Structure 1
C-alpha cells in the first residue's frame, strides 16, 4: 500500500474504532459484532506496524476499553487493569508461545474461559467489601460499589482475610436472566438488549441500584490485583486461594505445551453451548509470576497472556414460514420459522425479521436458504439470502390483523399496526405491561393467569382487573382459595399507587417510565394531564414534539377518557407524585452532585434541592447553576471550574438553605 493511502486508511480506521469504542464501552449499545470490531482493530495494528510514522499516541491500539463516565465518581486504579492481546488462529497462539519460550523455555500456562461481561475491581479491607469500580480506560474507572453490592455471589465479608485485598472479576448476566430481561422488554415493546454483555454492562452502570438488583447479575473472580501480608508465586495458587476465600471462580487447566493449550481451547469452544453464561474465547496466561515479571508488558498488553477469540458461527438453513405476531401497541412483527439448526451450542428455529422493510431489503422469500448467526452469540439473526427457492415469491405483509381481522395501517416509523384497539392480541400484551413491576406492580398476575382470565371472558380491559373477585380466580384451573385471596389483595393494594405508575401502565406510545414520572411531576392530577395539549407538554424540560403529541393523542381518545373514568369509580387513588416545591430558594436552579459528601448521601441532598424548588442533573453544562462537590469529585468538578460554575461544599450548601 502506498504511504498516502495508508495514512488515509489509518485515519479512517481510528475514527471508526473511536466511534464503536464509545458505543460499546460507554453507551453499552454496539452497532457491530465483536468479531467485526476485532477485524478493524487488527487491520489498524497491521498498518501501524508497517507505517509506524502514522501511529498517534492516542491510537485505539494504545488504549484500553472506554472512559470513566460522569454518572459515577472516578476511581484511579493502583494496579492498572490491562487488556489482553487477541489471537484468532492457532498460528498466532504458537507465535505467542515462541516469544514466551525465548525468555522462559520451561514456561507453563493456565487456560481459562474468557467471559463476555464487564471487568471490575473489588477492594476488601479486613475482610469487608469497601469499594468496587469498573475498568474504564484501565487507569481510571467508575465507582459502582452500591451496584456491585446487589450481586449475591460476590462476598461482602470474607473470613481469614488479609488486611487488604483487591481482586479483579467479570460481571455477567446468565442466559436465564438475559432471557427474562428480553421477555419483559419485548412485552413492553421496548428495544431489547442485544446480548448478555451489553445487558450486564448497562445494568451495572445504573444510577439506581434497585434496578441493578432486579437484573440478577453474577460475577466470576479471576485475578488478585493486590494483597497485603502474604506472597503468591503462581496464578494457579492465586485462583485456589480465591476459591478458599469464597469467591466465585471458574474452571482452569494447567498446560505444559502449546499443543495442550490449543487442545484445551478447542474443548472449551466445543462445550460453550453447555454453559449458562456467554464466553467469547479462552485466555492463556503464564502461570509463574516471576516469569511474568521477566516478560513485562507493552503500553497496552501484558506479554505473558493472550486471549483467543472464537469466530462467530454462521450457518445456512431453510426458511419454512413467516409468522406475524401482534404486539401491545398493535405492531405487526414478522418472525421467521426455520429448519432447526445447531448454532453456537443451541438449536435455533426462530428469529425476528423485524419489519417489512427488512424483508424487502434482503429479498427474503419463504422457501429461501438463508444465512443465520447469533448476534453476540445469543440472539439469532438473518444475515442474508444465500439461495432463492425455485419460483420464489416475495412475502406480502397482511392487509388485515391476523388476530382480529381488522385493517392495518403504516405509521411514520415504518411500523405496521392493527387499527383495532380492542384486538385480543393487543389486550394480552397490554395487560401484561399494565400489571408489570414498574407499572401497577400486581404480584401474582403473570401472563398465564391473564391468558386464562381473557379466555374466560373475565377481563376485556385494565378496568376489569379491579372487578375481579376471589371466586372468579378460584374458578380458574389450579387456583386455591389462599392464592386467590392473595391476588385480590395485590390488586386492591395497587389502587394506592402513585399517578406515574398508572400513566406508565397505560402503555402510551413513546412514553416510558422516566417520561411518565416527569409528566406527573409537572401535572398534579390525571385530569390536568388529560386536559393538557401538546404545547403544554413540550414546555417540560426534555420533552420533544413526538412525546408531547403522543400524550395529547392518547388522552384525547374517547376510549381513554372512558377507561380513566372507570378506574376512578373503581377506587384507584391516582396519588400525585411528590411535587417539587415552588417559590423555594432554589427555584429555577439546576444542581449537579459529584464526589462523596461528608455527612449526607447524594439522594438526601437531591431531595433537599427539590424540596426547595430546584432540580438535579447528571452532567455539567452551561445551564448548570451550582455543582455540589465532595471528596474525589473528579471530572465534573474540573468541568465546572473550566466553565466558571459556582462550586459548593456541603457546609456552604446547608448554609444557603438555613439562611
Structure 2
C-alpha cells in the first residue's frame, strides 16, 4: 500500500476525518457550554460549524455516525427538578440561512413527494416546553432536556395564565391523551418592567427575555414564577389518543378550540414564493410581535406527507427553520486575552465595554484563534462591530477603522500557557490552534475536565461546580492542589478540603470575579465556614461522589474525556463491550466495527489507553469503587446477541427510541436500512419503502405484538409467529 493510499479509510482522506473529528468535538463542547448557560460562541458561529460538518457528511456519508452532532439533540438536564421522559421525542430543526438553502430543502422535499401547501410560523426565541393532558386535564409539563428526558416543571407552568389547566370541550371533544409542544417566553414590555423591578429591589437584572423566561421556569418556588408575566404559544403535537387530524393547520385549529394558546401569525401558503414573501415580511417587521423572534419555521402542512418524509435522529425532514441575519452594534475592544479548554486548546477572546445587543448585555466575545484575529484585522482599543446571533456572547465582525486614533495595538498570541507556563504548540503540523501539551497537570485543563466530569451527561455531580473545580485545581492555599489529576477525585477527604482558599473565577471568561466591597479579586474559603467547619456543600459533595461510583459504564467513558467519545458513542461501546477492560484490550479494527464508533473514534480510544497516566486514572477509580462494567457482563451472551433489526413506521406502545433501546438492552443491533443481513424488520403503521425492501429480500417482518414476543421470548418464538402468520405462504 502506498503512503497516499494509507491515508484513505472507507474512501475518506485523513485530513477530512481529522477535520470532521475536530468539528464534532468543538460543536459538542459549545453545545455543552450553551445548555449549561455558559455559551462561548455566538449562534452564527455555531451554525457555521454545523453547516460545515453537514457538508462533510453529505460528501462522505461514512462519517455520519449516531454520535455525530448532526444526528442528536443535545441539552443536559438540571438536577434541580425530577427527570421525566417525553411520550414522544422532542426533536430539533435543521436551519437555512439564505434563500438558496431554503430552495434546496424545498427541492429535496418536492423531489420525493408532492407538496400542496406549506405552513409558516414565527420562530420564537423562548424556552421549549412539553405539556401532557390526560382526559383534558394538565398532568405534566417538562422542559425539552435532551429530547428524550426533560425536567418536570409542572407546578411552575401552572402559574402561566395562557396555559389552561383543563381543556375546553365545548366546541370539540377533548382527547384521552394529548402531548403538545410550545415556547414559553417573556413579552418584551414585561421583560423591561421585570428588570426595572429587580434592579429596584437591589437584585441583578436578567440579560435577555429568553434567560428571564428560563430562569423563571426553573424557580424552586412556584410563587416566584407566578410573579413573572410569562406567556406561551403552542406549535406542535406529540403523542395523542382519541383524536386525529389531517394537516398541521387542522391540528392548530383543534388546539385553539380546546383553549390552548396558538399564534395568530401562522399562515398556510401554496408555493415557495409565498413562503419567501412571509419570510421577507417578518424580516422587515421583526419587532412587531410581543415576543423576540430569530426566524421563521416552515412545515409541510399535510400530516400524511410528514409521515412519508420522516425524520433523521435529530430533526424532521418535513420542516426547516429559516434564520434571520443577526443584529449588530458597536463597542470598544478593551483587551484580547486567552483561556485554556479541557483539551488544551488556547482560545483568544475579546473583553469589551459592556453593551446591549438585542436585549443582552455582553462584554466577552470569542475570537477562535490568532489567525482569526489577524484575518479580521482587529486591534486592541478598536471600536468593533458586534453581531448578535440570538446568543449571550456575540461575534466580533471587525473593526471600525475610521474611528482609530493611533493608540490601538496588535494582539500577540502568548507562547506559553497562561495557566501553567508550558510552551504552546500545534498538536499536528498545519493546525491553526495552539495547545498546551501539559494535559495531565495544567490546572486550567484539569479544572475544565473536572467541570465536564460533573456534568449531567457524565457523572452528574451537582456539588462539583465551577468554583469547586477551581478550588480543587487552583487553590491559593495550600500551594499544592488536592488533585494531581482526575484520578484523585474519589480519594478526597474532608481534611484536605477545609484549608482551601481560592479565587472565584467567571465560568465564561476564566477571569477572577471582583469583590464589589474591596475592588480586589474575590477570594473564598470554599469548603469551610467561618468557624473552620465543613459547609453543607462538603457533605453533599461526598454523597454525590459515592452515587457517582454507581453510574453506568457509558457515563464513566464520557467522564474520562477520551477525545471524540461523546454520550452516544459511549453508550454503543458500553453496550457492545460491557466492561472498561474489554474496551481497553480491543484493537482499532474491532472498536471501529462497533455501530456508531468508526475509525476516528476507534483510533482516539486506542491512543488514549496508550498513555500511562490515563490508565492510572482508570485504576484509581476502580480501586475507589467506580463501576467499570455493565451489570451482567459476566453472564454470557444476551438473548438478542448477534441479531440485527430495522424498525420502521409508527408503533402505538413504543416510541421509536424506546423500541430501539429495548432491543439494544437485550444485545440486539438496530440499523437504519434493510439488507440481506437484517434478521427482522419491525413494521408499525405507515412503514414505507423499508417494508417493501424487506418483502423483496424475504426478511421476517414483525408487527408490534411480534416485537413484544421477540423481547419476551426470543428470536425463535418470534420466527414461529411470523411463520404462523404467513400460513400456507411460508417458505
Report the TM range for the smaller structure's normalisation: 0.5 to 0.7
Pick aligned residue for 1:493 from 547, 564, 579: 547
Gaps of 5+ in 1: 1-17, 45-57, 69-76, 85-112, 133-143, 176-194, 201-216, 230-237, 253-264, 284-307
Aligned to 2:78: none
Alpha-carbon contact 1:371-1:384 (below 8 Å) kept: yes
Question: Partners in 2 of 1:310 and 1:606 — Cα distance?
Answer: 37
User: 1:392-429: per-residue Cα shift (whole Å, max 9, x none)?
Assistant: 66533221101111011113453321011211111111
Question: Partners in 1 of 2:112 and 2:327 — Cα distance?
Answer: 31
Aligned to 2:580: 526
Question: Partners in 1 of 2:296 and 2:541 — Cα distance?
Answer: 48
Question: Partners in 1 of 2:262 and 2:652 — Cα distance?
Answer: 36
Per the TM alignment, residue 617 of structure 1 is displaced from its structure 2 partner at its CA by 2.6
Aligned to 2:371: 357
Pick aligned residue for 1:220 from 233, 254, 260: 233
**Structure 1's 481 and 325: CA in aligned 2 closer, same or farther, altered over 3 A?**
closer
Question: Partners in 2 of 1:541 and 1:602 — Cα distance?
Answer: 18
Alpha-carbon contact 2:182-2:236 (below 8 Å) kept: no
Alpha-carbon contact 2:129-2:184 (below 8 Å) kept: no
Pick aligned residue for 1:556 from 601, 610, 615: 610
Question: Partners in 2 of 1:619 and 1:221 — Cα distance?
Answer: 34
Aligned to 2:443: 424
1:459 lines up with 2:496 in the alignment: no
Aligned to 1:330: 344
What is the RMSD of the two structures over their aligned residues, measured on CA atoms? 5.6
Question: Partners in 2 of 1:580 and 1:608 — Cα distance?
Answer: 20
Question: Partners in 2 of 1:657 and 1:578 — Cα distance?
Answer: 23
Does the residue aligned with 2:352 lie in a helix, a strand or coil?
strand
Per the TM alignment, residue 82 of structure 1 is displaced from its structure 2 partner at its CA by 2.0
**Structure 1's 657 and 471: CA in aligned 2 closer, same or farther, altered over 3 A?**
farther
User: 1:99-136: per-residue Cα shift (whole Å, max 9, x none)?
Assistant: xxxxxxxxxxxxxx86247999999785158999xxxx
Does the residue aligned with 1:496 lie in a helix, a strand or coil?
coil
Aligned to 1:345: 359
User: 1:528-569: per-residue Cα shift (whole Å, max 9, x none)?
Assistant: 333334334223233333212211221111111222222222
Scaled by the length of structure 1, the TM-score of the pair is 0.59
User: 1:245-296: per-residue Cα shift (whole Å, max 9, x none)?
Assistant: 77467899xxxxxxxxxxxx99996799xx9x7424799xxxxxxxxxxxxx
Alpha-carbon contact 1:169-1:221 (below 8 Å) kept: yes
Per the TM alignment, residue 574 of structure 1 is displaced from its structure 2 partner at its CA by 1.9
Alpha-carbon contact 1:580-1:611 (below 8 Å) kept: no
1:82 lines up with 2:91 in the alignment: no
- Aligned residue pairs, count: 491
**Structure 1's 593 and 469: CA in aligned 2 closer, same or farther, altered over 3 A?**
same
Alpha-carbon contact 1:407-1:418 (below 8 Å) kept: yes
Alpha-carbon contact 1:453-1:459 (below 8 Å) kept: yes
Aligned to 1:565: 619
Pick aligned residue for 1:127 from 113, 136, 139: 136
1:541 lines up with 2:595 in the alignment: yes
Does the residue aligned with 2:380 lie in a helix, a strand or coil?
coil
Aligned to 1:510: 564
Question: Partners in 2 of 1:600 and 1:40 — Cα distance?
Answer: 35
Alpha-carbon contact 1:129-1:156 (below 8 Å) kept: yes
Alpha-carbon contact 1:119-1:169 (below 8 Å) kept: no
Does the residue aligned with 1:410 lie in a helix, a strand or coil?
coil
Question: Partners in 2 of 1:641 and 1:83 — Cα distance?
Answer: 38
Per the TM alignment, residue 352 of structure 1 is displaced from its structure 2 partner at its CA by 0.6
**Of the two, which has the highest radius of gyration?**
1
**Structure 1's 609 and 580: CA in aligned 2 closer, same or farther, altered over 3 A?**
farther
Q: Is 155-164 or 545-554 further displaced after alignment?
A: 155-164
Per the TM alignment, residue 605 of structure 1 is displaced from its structure 2 partner at its CA by 5.0
User: 1:318-362: per-residue Cα shift (whole Å, max 9, x none)?
Assistant: 332211010111111111122333321223322111123322332
Question: Partners in 2 of 1:196 and 1:631 — Cα distance?
Answer: 38
1:158 lines up with 2:166 in the alignment: yes
Per the TM alignment, residue 431 of structure 1 is displaced from its structure 2 partner at its CA by 0.6
Gaps of 5+ in 2: 1-53, 59-69, 74-90, 187-208, 215-229, 244-251, 266-281, 298-321, 500-526, 721-731
Aligned to 2:18: none
1:115 lines up with 2:124 in the alignment: yes
**Structure 1's 414 and 531: CA in aligned 2 closer, same or farther, altered over 3 A?**
farther
Aligned to 2:460: 441
Question: Partners in 1 of 2:666 and 2:101 — Cα distance?
Answer: 52
**Structure 1's 38 and 497: CA in aligned 2 closer, same or farther, altered over 3 A?**
same
Question: Partners in 2 of 1:279 and 1:473 — Cα distance?
Answer: 47
Question: Partners in 2 of 1:531 and 1:349 — Cα distance?
Answer: 48
Pick aligned residue for 1:404 from 388, 410, 420: 420
Does the residue aligned with 1:406 lie in a helix, a strand or coil?
coil
**Structure 1's 497 and 348: CA in aligned 2 closer, same or farther, altered over 3 A?**
closer
